[in-house]
Amino acid sequence: MIKKLEKNDWQKFKQIRLEALKKSPDSFLSSFEKESKIADEFWLEQLDQDIIFGYFTDNEIVGCCGLLLEKKAKIAHTATLVSMYVKDKTRGSGIGLELVNAVKIVLKITMSKIYILVVMQKILVRLNFIESVPLKFMAQSQITVRLAINFMMI
């Protein structure tokens, strides 16, 4: 089941975010070492300011995906797809696709552009965000490819 995470979900979000940073450090711009030291208030604020979805199986969060909403007036119509992660035991089951589809629904209602930090190329192609990935993402180089996708392409 997918749900938008609320303030009372902050501990579950913190748990899966820290797991994601620990198990897939090259997939994120932050680090486990940095975020594990952040005060609990930060996690509450993040769920209040941004749109974060969680995928739950038997009341356990097994995946997450979020939208970082831009605050500046000139780009307030844009958002960045962030924090995409699915636990190892549930990968390949379509949870990642469902999470990104939940984001697409929000985008169709509220946004005109999304910026995607490309880590999971196959999912983006399968969801028709893009036809193919022109640049190969290389986690070892810690280069994040950023693609601007017009809302009309969704």
Q: What are the pLDDT digits (tens) for 36-84?
A: 999 999 999 999 888 899 999 999 999 999 888 778 888 777 777 888 9
Sequence ranges of the domains in the chain: 2-114
Q: What is the CATH number of domain 2-114?
A: 3.40.630.30
Q: Are 39 and 88 in contact (CB under 8 A)?
A: no
- The residues pairing with 68 across neighbouring beta strands, listed in sequence order, are 80
27-44 residue pLDDT tens: 888 999 999 999 999 999
Q: What is the mean pLDDT of the chain?
A: 77
Report which of residues 141 and 21 the model is more confident about: 21
Q: In what order do the strands lie in the sheet with 2-4?
A: 2-4, 51-57, 60-69, 78-86, 113-118, 145-150
